[in-house]
């Protein structure tokens, strides 16, 4: 939590001035009861109107100065807390952007959203209140005691005994509720997650008539959150009655003692009024302190959660500059040392990969190499590891064992920007962002001209889609591109990757929403690109990858076969199984010819 104070460094002046002006306000507040006592004991007692008017003017001056101090303190506290929250939110967001997918998978999106929004807001509130009240309340409480001692020693002892009790109550309740506030935020994460899941999947919920179950589950989680919130609220609410009881007992004792003193002539009535005023000021301050402590507890819990995110270190490092020209990649010679490697675009050298906490590898001992300009088809059953394999090429994850090589060099030796500029990825789930089609396509390359964008759209079979929209490239997409169909989104995401003119193009099942004719047209135009590109085509459809120079067949995380379509039909059972399940008529033809002349017989 202390680590977060670094985000206050640009607001040092404000963080000092806010409590300073609060302190001035306290001084003016503490002078008031003394002036009132003088009006009673001197002005009223001696019927001295001039004195009363003079002291009354002082009271007005104190009030005016107090008000000015309050406003100034509020201004500085607001400036510091809002500025701090802005910097903290930005820092957490930047940090999250630098984390690898391994950390993001472990943390989870829901808690990141709560921490970036609600938690940062709670910290901002806590800081604002803290800067204004954290010093004010103790100043008033201790200041009242000091002033009481200047009036009457015996009566002031009442203050001296009551104050430690009051602080004890405040601290006990504080220590009991801090861990509970952390739990409340955890439950809030769950409710946020459930809300997100239910709202994004609302169509599916309705299609499967699961509304009742979804509402029931939300209700349960919401009730849990409410119950805990109520419990913490009740615990915190104890603070006010307990402090009231203590302070009222102290007031009764004070008035009794002061009354006796006045009767004995040791004190004047005005002084009793002043002592009572100090006690009353303490009540008000302790109530404020109680709500301040509740707010501070909440923000302390939230600050801990935000600090936890900032403590997470990315397990993926990128070199400051690409080191591949001087370093030898693990197990492989440098490109200059081995000319054959310079022809290799991507190579996997005995790669094994396990997701953090998964318990078993998703890819085991994968080895293959792909020449520049080749098209690679990746096929396999659901969950066989196809996406995982291409994610290692983009370095979304690092291999647990073995090496991934790009141009004969360990992929870990490339800078982030170097790597990203070489690889164009079209993910399985088409993701587009709020903005014009032009803005979205330019993610591929900032300086791309409209002509470049249309060219990419033509290749991606998306030209007609954009031509059909009002404003064409200026057509505004809604969040997640939800005003487009699934197939239209896929075409735009493919075009976005092509705008970059990458050396390596990865299409992760990204033509699944296209009809067969469009899919075929897309593959045809990808073969006619005017730059040399190595293409990875992940697909469930045999027809989509049949023409590839190399097909990788995955089965439960292992490489069941690699080769061309014809080779795999001869050598790989898994491939045959997939192919014949999609082209059952070919099975009969396959059985009727010998494995030797299958290449001629099977339609490719």
Ligand X SMILES: Nc1ncnc2c1ncn2[C@@H]1O[C@H](COP(=O)(O)OP(=O)(O)OP(=O)(O)O)[C@@H](O)[C@H]1O
Nearer to ligand X, 140 or 545 (CB): 545
The Cα 233–Cα 493 span in angstroms is 49
Instruction: Tell me the C-alpha distance between 208 and 282, whole Å.
Output: 61
Q: Are 292 and 177 in contact (CB under 8 A)?
A: no
C-alpha of 412 from chain center: 26
Q: Which two tokens stand for residue 346?
A: 């991507």
Q: Which is nearer to ligand X, 380 or 408 (CB)?
A: 380
Query: Which CB, 69 or 364, lies closer to ligand X?
Result: 364
Please state the closest distance from residue 397 (CB atom) to ligand X, in A. Answer: 9
State the nearest-atom distance from the C-beta of 387 to ligand X, in Å: 3
We find the least distance from the C-beta atom of residue 559 to ligand X, in angstroms, to be: 13
| Least spacing, CB of residue 388 vs ligand X, in Å | 3
Query: Residue 24 CB, nearest distance to ligand X (Å)?
Result: 56
Q: By the 8 A CB rule, do 315 and 397 touch?
A: no
Backbone CA torsion sign across 444, 449, 452, 458: positive
Greatest alpha-carbon span in the chain: 128
List Cα–Cα distances, 119 to 38, 109, 125, 289, 503, in angstroms.
Answer: 49, 14, 10, 21, 42
Nearer to ligand X (CB atom), residue 154 or residue 429: 429
Q: Which is nearer to ligand X, 231 or 355 (CB)?
A: 355
Question: From the CB of 358, what's the least distance to ligand X, in Å?
Answer: 4
Which C-beta is closer to ligand X: that of 457 or that of 578? 578
Q: Are strands 504-508 and 423-426 parallel, antiparallel or unpaired?
A: parallel
Q: Which residues contribute to the site for ligand X (CB under 6 A)?
A: 105, 355, 358, 362, 380, 382-388, 428
Characterise 395 by phi-psi region: left (phi > 0), alpha (psi -120 to 50), beta (else): left
Residue with tokens 């419990």: 231
Q: Given the complex with ligand X, which of 105 and 601 has the nearer CB atom?
A: 105
**Comparison of 278 and 397: residue with beta carbon closer to ligand X:** 397
Distance, in Å, from the CA atom of 158 to the CA atom of 253, rounded to the nearest integer, reads 7
Q: Residue 324's closest CA among 335, 337, 338?
A: 335
In b/e form, how buried is each residue of 493-502, taking b as 16+ CB within 10 angstroms?
Answer: bbbbbbbbbb
Nearer to ligand X (CB atom), residue 73 or residue 553: 553
The residues, ordered by sequence, that sit 6+ positions from 352 with a Cβ below 8 Å of its Cβ are 361, 363, 364, 365, 366, 399, 400, 401, 402
Q: In DSSP terms, which residues pair with 346 in a beta bridge?
A: 370, 406
> 357 or 470, CB closer to ligand X?
357
User: Which SS3 state, helix, strand or coil, does residue 504 take?
Assistant: strand
Shortest distance (Å) from residue 487 CB to ligand X: 18
Do residues 549 and 564 touch, judged by C-beta distance below 8 A? Answer: yes
Rounded to a whole number of angstroms, the minimum distance from the CB of residue 331 to ligand X is 24
CB of residue 310 to ligand X, shortest distance in Å: 23
CB of 357 to ligand X, least distance (A): 7
Q: What are phi and psi of 430, to 5 degrees?
A: -65, 120
């Amino acid at each position: 939590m202390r680590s977060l104070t670094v985000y206050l460094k640009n607001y040092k002046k404000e963080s000092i001035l806010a409590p300073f002006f609060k302190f001035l306000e306290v001084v003016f507040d503490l002078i008031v009861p003394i002036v009132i006592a003088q009006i009673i004991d001197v002005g009223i007692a001696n019927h001295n109107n001039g004195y009363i008017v003079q002291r009354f003017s002082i009271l007005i001056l104190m009030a005016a100065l107090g008000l000015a101090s309050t406003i100034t303190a509020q201004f500085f506290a607001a400036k510091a807390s809002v500025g701090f929250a802005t910097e903290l939110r930005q820092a957490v967001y930047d940090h999250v952007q630098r984390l690898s997918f391994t950390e993001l998978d472990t943390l989870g999106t829901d808690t990141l959203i709560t921490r970036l929004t609600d938690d940062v807001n709670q910290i901002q509130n806590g800081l604002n209140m803290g800067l204004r009240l954290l010093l004010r309340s103790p100043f008033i409480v201790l200041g009242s005691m000091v002033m009481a001692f200047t009036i009457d020693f015996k009566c002031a002892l009442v203050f001296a005994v009551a104050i430690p009790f009051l602080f004890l109550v405040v601290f006990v309740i504080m220590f009991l509720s801090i861990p509970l506030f952390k739990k409340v935020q955890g439950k809030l994460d769950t409710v946020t997650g459930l809300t997100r899941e239910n709202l994004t999947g609302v169509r599916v919920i309705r299609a499967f008539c699961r509304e009742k179950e979804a509402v029931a589950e939300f209700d349960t989680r919401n009730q849990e959150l409410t119950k805990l919130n109520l419990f913490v609220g009740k615990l915190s609410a104890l603070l006010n009655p307990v402090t009231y009881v203590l302070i009222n007992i102290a007031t009764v004792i004070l008035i009794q003692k002061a009354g006796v003193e006045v009767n004995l002539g040791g004190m004047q009535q005005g002084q009793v009024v002043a002592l009572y005023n100090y006690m009353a000021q303490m009540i008000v301050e302790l109530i404020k302190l109680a709500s301040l402590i509740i707010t501070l507890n909440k923000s302390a819990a939230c600050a801990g959660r935000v600090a936890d995110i900032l403590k997470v270190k990315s397990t993926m490092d990128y070199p400051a500059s690409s080191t591949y020209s001087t370093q030898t990649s693990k197990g492989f010679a440098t490109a200059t040392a081995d000319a054959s490697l310079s022809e290799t675009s991507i190579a996997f050298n005995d790669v094994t990969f396990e997701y953090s906490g998964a318990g078993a590898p998703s890819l085991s001992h994968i080895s293959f190499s792909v020449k520049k300009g080749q098209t690679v088809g990746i096929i396999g059953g659901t969950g066989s590891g196809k996406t995982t394999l291409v994610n290692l090429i983009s370095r979304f994850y690092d291999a647990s064992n073995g090496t991934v090589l790009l141009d004969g060099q360990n992929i870990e030796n490339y800078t982030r920007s170097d790597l990203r500029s070489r690889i164009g990825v079209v993910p399985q789930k088409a993701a587009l962002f709020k903005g014009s089609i032009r803005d979205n396509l330019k993610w591929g390359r900032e300086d791309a001209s409209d002509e470049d964008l249309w060219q990419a759209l033509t290749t991606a079979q998306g030209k007609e889609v954009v031509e059909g929209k009002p404003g064409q490239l200026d057509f505004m997409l809604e969040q997640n591109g939800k005003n487009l169909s699934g197939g239209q989104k896929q075409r735009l995401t493919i075009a976005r990757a092509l705008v970059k003119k990458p050396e390596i193009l990865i299409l992760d099942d990204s033509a699944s929403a296209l009809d067969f004719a469009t899919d075929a047209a897309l593959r045809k135009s990808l073969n006619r690109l005017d730059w040399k590109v190595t293409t990875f085509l992940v697909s469930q459809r045999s027809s989509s990858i049949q023409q590839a120079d190399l097909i990788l067949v995955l089965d439960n995380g292992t490489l069941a076969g690699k080769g061309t379509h014809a080779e795999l039909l001869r050598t790989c059972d898994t491939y045959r199984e997939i192919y014949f399940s999609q082209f059952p008529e070919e099975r009969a033809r396959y059985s009727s010819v010998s494995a030797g002349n299958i290449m001629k017989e099977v339609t490719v």
